Amino acid sequence: MEWQFDKIEKEAQAELEAVNGQGGLEAFRIKYLGRKGIVQEIFSSLGSVSAEEKPRVGKQANDLRNKLASILEEKTLQLRAETSKETQYTLDHSLPGVAPSIGHAHILSQTIDEICSLFEKLGFTVQDGPEIETEFNNFTALNIPIDHPSRDSFDTFYLEAEDRSNKGRYLLLRSHTSPGQVRILKQFPPPLAVIIPGKVYRPDAVDASHSFMFHQIEGLLVDRDVKFSDLKGLLTVFCQRLFGKDIKMRFRPHFFPFTEPSAEVDISCYICKGKGCSVCGRKGWLEIMGSGMVHPKVFEAAGYPKGKYTGLAFGLGVERITMLKYGINDIRIFFENDKRFLEQF
Ligand code: PHE
């Protein structure tokens, strides 16, 4: 068979001219240069060409193949250049830019700030104490006896280092903010009113309601003639400002070695108004903090004259209050640094 090389070449050229995308280039390659393409068909037919014709037809077939390959490459480059030019011009300058992400205070810091500023309005000043404490300040000065379970290594992180200032007693990570009371009593003369926010540590297994580190806020007010009624009044005003005017208070008798008498403070559940719901565990009440009148032994350990002053103290858990306030049911989420959680506050 006689191949019309010129006609094939012209048709191919015209076809390629009309191609305007990657798909068209590939279809062209398959049709002309593929394994079952026209060029291959021509080469396969060379066997039936007469011996004297063969060199001429062979050369034409080769030329055709080279020509088609080269115009295909040219077209590929041309299309590539066009698309990159297009992307250059499709950049939309009116699109809004990527906003820088601006951080903000962690929800626990926000709660601490809010509680501190409520107490500041009531005349308290904010102080802090060290997270590494002496065994004396954390326990002994607070009238916590040597055989008290909270002294156990299951309940307290002891450090390898010894407290040289205190004749060989141990240093530890404070298990509550109450040792701050001892430091304040030694540092400032009465009358005084301070709150001490900070981290505390207990080697608890971590679960939805326990963490080996959490935050407390300690309160201490010392003067002549501070009474239990002052404690009730102060904490009632505080809770109403934090949770709303309608809440009711309940002071339940309790025991802490460093306060006498002691009370746990409950507020009526602000969700169900005391009827009982899942937040308050159907009790209608939420436990908010521990409190009491400063024990004479604590004044004694701080070097106070006997019987001259009285005081009130309280301690609350920041995570617990935050969880109640915002309906958060897992303490671990505070410390996971998940922005999807943090950005909600
Ligand atoms: N330190 C106590 C606790 O961690 C709380 C408390 C503080 C109780 C002050 C009474 C007075 O449980």
pTM: 0.72
Query: What is the per-residue pLDDT across 187-221, written as a single tens digit (0 to 9) for each?
Result: 999 999 999 999 999 999 999 989 999 999 999 99
pLDDT score at 168: 54
Whether ligand 1 lies within 6 angstroms of the CB of 178 is answered as: yes
Residue 177 lies in a domain: yes
Together in a domain, 179 and 287: yes
Tell me which residue of 246, 216, 248 sits closest to 314, measured CA to CA.
Answer: 216
Would the pLDDT of 47 be above 60? yes
Together in a domain, 129 and 202: yes
Whether ligand 1 lies within 6 angstroms of the CB of 322 is answered as: no
Together in a domain, 117 and 149: yes
pLDDT score at 199: 98
Count of structural domains within the chain: 2
Together in a domain, 41 and 179: no
Together in a domain, 228 and 324: yes
Residue 105, classed as helix, strand or coil, is: coil
Whether ligand 1 lies within 6 angstroms of the CB of 259 is answered as: yes
Query: What is the per-residue pLDDT across 235-290, written as a single tens digit (0 to 9) for each?
Result: 999 999 999 999 999 999 999 999 999 999 999 998 888 898 888 889 999 999 99
Q: Which two tokens stand for residue 201?
A: 């540590």
Segments of 84-212 assigned E as strands: 125-126, 132-134, 157-163, 169-173, 192-201
pLDDT score at 86: 67
Per-position b or e across 74-93, b if 16+ CB within 10 A of its CB: ebeeebeeeeeeeeeeeeee
pLDDT score at 167: 55
Q: Which atom of ligand 1 is nearest to 178's Cα?
A: 1
Together in a domain, 143 and 175: yes
pLDDT score at 92: 80
Together in a domain, 52 and 124: no
Together in a domain, 60 and 129: no
Cα of 180 vs centre of ligand 1, distance in Å, is 11
- Residue 203: asked if its preceding bond is cis (omega within 30°), the reply is no
Question: How crowded is the C-beta side of 228, counted as CA atoms within 13 Å?
Answer: 14
pLDDT score at 59: 93
Together in a domain, 147 and 253: yes
Tell me which residue of 276, 285, 198 sits closest to 243, measured CA to CA.
Answer: 285
> The domain that contains 204 carries what CATH number?
3.30.930.10
Query: What is the per-residue pLDDT across 70-128, written as a single tens digit (0 to 9) for each?
Result: 999 999 999 888 887 766 667 788 888 888 888 999 999 999 999 999 999 999 999 99
Q: Which domain holds residue 181?
A: 107-342
Together in a domain, 148 and 14: no
